[in-house]
Structures are given as C-alpha cells and as structure tokens.
Amino acid sequence: MTEAKKLFIKTYGCQMNVYDSERMEESLQGYERTDTPEDADLILLNTCHIREKAAEKVYSELGRFKHLKAERPDLRIGVAGCVAQAEGAEIMRRQPLVDLVVGPQSYHRLPQLEARARAGEKALDTDFPEEDKFEKLKRRPKAKRGPTAFLTVQEGCDKFCAFCVVPYTRGAEVSRPATRILEEARDLVERGVREITLLGQNVNAYHGQGADGREWSLARLIWALSEIDGLARIRFTTSHPNDMDEDLIEAHGSCSKLMPYLHLPVQAGSDKILKRMNRSHTAESYLKLIDRLRAARPDLHLSGDFIVGFPEETEEDFQATMDIVRAAGYGSAFSFKYSTRPGTPAAERDQLSEEVKDDRLRRLQALLTEQQRAVQDSMVGREVSVLVEKPGRFEGQMVGKSEYLHAVHFDAAGHVPGDLVRMRITASGPNSLSGEALQLA
Ligand code: SAH
Ligand code: SF4
Ligand code: F3S
C-alpha cells in the first residue's frame, strides 16, 4: 500500500466553507489531513471574499508558504472558495506559487484538478456547471464524528444586496433535493451526530424537491428531519427576513427539535439605507416579524448582522440602526464596517471616511456587547438542556451548548460528548456560562 499523502486545509469565512472543506477533504482519496502545513503534500486555502480584509489575508498567507515550496518542489498549493471564484487566474498571476484554483461550484472536479496540478500543470476551474456537485462529491466509508454537524441544503443567492459579493461568487440560488438531505442527515446521525445545522446563504428560501415530488419549504424539510430518531436538535442559518414564511415561524413554536435561536440579519435600521442596500424590507417590517416569531416562541434568542458606514449613511441613519438594535434585542450579533467590494453596485458610490466608520462601529459594538452580556447574565438560575461537545479548558470539565447556543462549562463527571444534560445555570463568565447537572428523579 502506498503511504497516504497529506492535506492541509485552512478555512476562512462562513459555515458553508467549513462544510465544503469537509466535503473536499473526503473527496480527495489517498490523502489524510494534517494540521501542519510543513508536512503537507497539498495545501488548500478555502477562502472568503466578503470583505476586503478577508480577501487580502489569502495573499499574505500564500506568501508565507514560499519557503515551503522552495524546500519541497512536490508540494502543491491550491486556492478554493469565494476568492478563487472572484479572482480566478488573477491569483496565479499575482502569486505564481499557486498550482490550483477551484471555485465553490466545481469542488466535485477537485480530484481531477489535483491530478493535473500534480503532473505540473496550472489547474483552474471556476465554472458554474449544471450538475449537482454534492451528489458527485465522493464520501469516505463511515467514520465516527462529533455530536454537531453542518449540512448545506441551499446555495447561492438571488437577492443582490448592493454591498454583497455572494451572488457573484456562489451564483444563483439552488436547493438540494430533500431526499438527498434526509439521506445525508441519517448518515450523520449513524456516525454519532445529534445536532444538525442546515446551511444556506439564504437558507429559508429553500425550495427543494420533496420526497413526494412536490416542492418543499424549509419548514417542511425541518419537520421531515425531526422524524429521524437520534437526531435531537435542528438549527438553520442564514435567513433573510423576506423569506420567513408562516410555516417556518410556526415551526419555531411547535417543533420541539428546532432550537430557539435565530440568526436573522437586518443590516441597518434606516429605511433609506435599507432601500439603497436593496434589502427589500423596512425596519418596521423586520420588527413586526420579530414580534410574530416571539409570539410563536417567546424565549427565542435573536442574532443579527449589521453594517455601518454604508455609502450615504448619515449620523441620523446610524442612530436608526442603534434604535432597531434596542427595539429587537440581540442575544448575539456580528457587526462590520462597510467594505467596498469590486463589481457590486455600492462600490461605485461616494464612500464615507474610515474615521466615521470606525467611530460608528465602536458605538454599535458597545451597545451590542451590553445587550449580549445582559442576555447571557439573565440565564443564571435558569434550567437549560446542554448538548455535551468536548472536554473544557480545565481538567475535569466538559463544555457543550445550550438550546440558545451559549457555551456552558460543567463538571465532566459521568458525561460524554453527545449526551443531552438538563442543567441549572449557576454563573455567567466572560465568554461562557457555568452549569450544574440536575439530578433526575
Ligand atoms: N446571506 C446572509 C449573509 C451573507 S454574508 C444574509 O443575507 O444575511 C454575512 C454578513 O457579512 C452579511 O450579513 C453582512 O452583514 C456582511 N457583509 C456582506 N458584505 C459586506 C460588505 N461589503 N461590507 C461589510 N460587511 C458585509
Ligand atoms: Fe448577500 Fe444579501 Fe444574498 Fe445575504 S441576501 S447573501 S447579504 S446578497
Ligand atoms: Fe465568504 Fe463566500 Fe461565505 S464570500 S461569507 S465564504 S459565501
């Protein structure tokens, strides 16, 4: 038997990239993963193009591999993900040590590309082929896994928010057939998974073909998944406010396996800015939606994304963002300075200064941190269920996640990863909660 070659993958960006990295690794037969680039025969950077900084990181990281390539001429270096899609052959021009460039829609062709790169060619594929790449990506024989997993159900986006590269890097919205998703979910559960997070750039726009031949919504898919024995928890991300249909709102109230946590980005609170962002919802319609969701599931934890410093954002517009944060109340949040992205409509407009953007980001983050803190502290004394994930930072400790996605540390005694444990929260620390298992009668 020939010795396995070694693969080093570094993943940037969103959870969809994490899922893709897993699938790429599995598809490369004859490779096993290594955590050190120095040992690798193939280095793959799975990149993100969402903000300028994210894209620039790729080039600085590639520069660091120069000495490795000089020492080991057999090393191959590849760039996958959204930078690969956006920049294509330009990457090889700018950094000649790159042998392989593969866009997110072509991962099923990675083994052939790898073979070409190994033979000394420059291999590039940034097509948007018609075929269903996930069905063509090879799986490895069943291996045990940890208790949580991602599962991509939908890819791409047709929304074209004026700031965003995703519709260009990931292409048009496509939903995977429900039968395939159910098969994959059952397989994950057989490997030990107890919680699945369904992924999509616009996951609640899901409209895949169902087992009955009809089109299924995300809610329908969630109900079908909830019938899998052994699967304890279902989550989904990222949702768009315009695609939260009645069935999905209702499922938050009635599907016990669907967790009470929702990432629902609003981006900004001023209707003028929302319109210029091409978001097609208003601050008021968003807040009404939150009300309906909380009516269905009063303890729902809300998470969001925000952009400050979008072109033409005035101080008054920014205050509207602060207002919507106060009105909606977030248990967690991600906030960013607007970053001009090549090829997007907003990049052509007059830009605000970095000073203004920095100042607004600082103020917004102070408010969001305060809210997150208050929500986390309010958990003390409450009963939650924790899915045990892995040993904690200290000896004798385990860590897992509550329904609300808070990390909870507790005494490891008698608990193993994959257990669901009822706990009382005893304290709230800087980044996590502490809990005590409840004695079951
Ligand atoms: N599909 C999701 C998220 C896409 S990207 C959605 O529609 O909400 C994740 C987040 O990155 C976005 O929600 C947005 O807040 C942020 N983002 C996207 N483009 C950006 C840009 N050009 N500058 C700053 N932040 C950006
Ligand atoms: Fe980007 Fe908007 Fe699509 Fe989200 S909905 S991926 S922010 S274009
Ligand atoms: Fe980044 Fe592409 Fe995800 S741009 S956020 S890796 S879809």
Q: Which atom of ligand 2 is nearest to the CA of 158?
A: 3
Nearest to 303 by CA among 399, 237, 389, 386: 237
DSSP assignments along 360-376, one per residue: HHHHHHHHHHHHHHHHH
What are the pLDDT tens digits along the chain (441 aa)? 578 999 999 999 999 999 999 999 999 989 999 999 999 999 999 999 999 988 889 999 999 999 999 999 999 999 999 999 999 999 999 999 999 999 999 999 999 999 999 999 999 999 988 778 888 887 777 788 999 999 999 999 999 999 999 999 999 999 999 999 999 999 999 999 999 999 999 999 999 999 899 999 999 999 999 999 999 999 999 999 999 999 999 999 999 999 999 999 999 999 999 999 999 999 999 999 999 999 999 999 999 999 999 999 999 999 999 999 999 999 999 999 999 999 999 999 999 999 999 999 999 999 999 999 999 999 999 999 999 999 998 899 999 999 999 999 999 988 999 999 999 999 999 899 999 999 764
Tell me, what's the pLDDT at 132? 80
Tell me, what's the pLDDT at 140? 75
Q: How far apart are CA 203 and CA 16, in angstroms?
A: 11
The answer to whether the CB of 201 is under 6 A from ligand 1 is yes
Beta strands in 127-260 (DSSP E): 148-152, 154-155, 174-175, 195-199, 233-237
Q: How far apart are CA 231 and CA 234, in angstroms?
A: 8
Domain boundaries, the chain: 5-125, 133-378, 383-440
Tell me, what's the pLDDT at 1? 57
Structure tokens at 303: 């998470």
Q: Are 219 and 181 in contact (CB under 8 A)?
A: no
Distance of CA 131 to the CA centre of its chain: 23
Ligand 3, pocket residues at CB < 6 Å: 13-14, 16-17, 48-50, 81-82, 165-166, 169-170, 201
273: left (phi over 0), alpha (psi -120 to 50) or beta: alpha
Is 157 annotated in some ligand binding site?
A: yes
Instruction: Kindly report the number of other CB atoms within 10 A of residue 264's CB atom.
Output: 22
Q: How far is the CA of 19 from the centre of ligand 2 (A)?
A: 19
Classify 441 as helix, strand or coil.
coil
Q: What is the CA radius of gyration of the chain?
A: 23
Q: How far is the CA of 14 from the centre of ligand 1 (A)?
A: 10
Q: How far apart are CA 415 and CA 215, in angstroms?
A: 41
Q: Which residues pair with 433 in a beta bridge?
A: 408, 428
Q: How far apart are CA 439 and CA 441, in angstroms?
A: 6
Q: What CATH superfamily classification does 383-440 receive?
A: Nucleic acid-binding proteins (2.40.50.140)
Q: How far apart are CA 221 and CA 198, in angstroms?
A: 10
Q: Which option is the CATH number for 133-378: 3.80.30.20, 3.30.1180.20, 2.40.50.140, 1.20.120.1770?
A: 3.80.30.20
Q: How far is the CA of 50 from the centre of ligand 1 (A)?
A: 7
Fold of 5-125: Rossmann fold (3.40.50)
Beta strands in 249-380 (DSSP E): 261-263, 301-308, 332-337
Is 255 annotated in some ligand binding site?
A: no
Tell me, what's the pLDDT at 349? 95
Q: Are 243 and 204 in contact (CB under 8 A)?
A: yes
Q: How far apart are CA 48 and CA 12, in angstroms?
A: 6
Query: Which residue's CA is the nearest one to ligand 3's atom 3?
Result: 14
Report the amino acid identity of residue 231. L
Q: How far apart are CA 194 and CA 388, in angstroms?
A: 10
Q: How far is the CA of 15 from the centre of ligand 1 (A)?
A: 13
Instruction: Kindly report the number of other CB atoms within 10 A of residue 241's CB atom.
Output: 20
Ligand nearest to the CA of 52: 1
Q: Which residues pair with 302 in a beta bridge?
A: 262
Q: How far apart are CA 400 and CA 408, in angstroms?
A: 5
The string of pLDDT tens digits covering residues 334-386 is: 999 999 999 999 999 999 999 999 999 999 999 999 999 999 999 999 999 99
Structure tokens at 313: 């954002």
Report the amino acid identity of residue 305. D
pTM, two decimals, is 0.96
The answer to whether the CB of 162 is under 6 A from ligand 2 is no
Is 161 annotated in some ligand binding site?
A: yes
Q: How far apart are CA 159 and CA 263, in angstroms?
A: 17
Q: How far apart are CA 81 and CA 211, in angstroms?
A: 31
Q: How far apart are CA 108 and CA 128, in angstroms?
A: 12
Q: How far apart are CA 214 and CA 195, in angstroms?
A: 26
The string of pLDDT tens digits covering residues 141-183 is: 778 899 999 999 999 999 999 999 999 999 999 999 999 999 9
Query: Which residue's CA is the nearest one to ligand 2's atom 1?
Result: 164
Q: How far is the CA of 275 from the centre of ligand 2 (A)?
A: 14
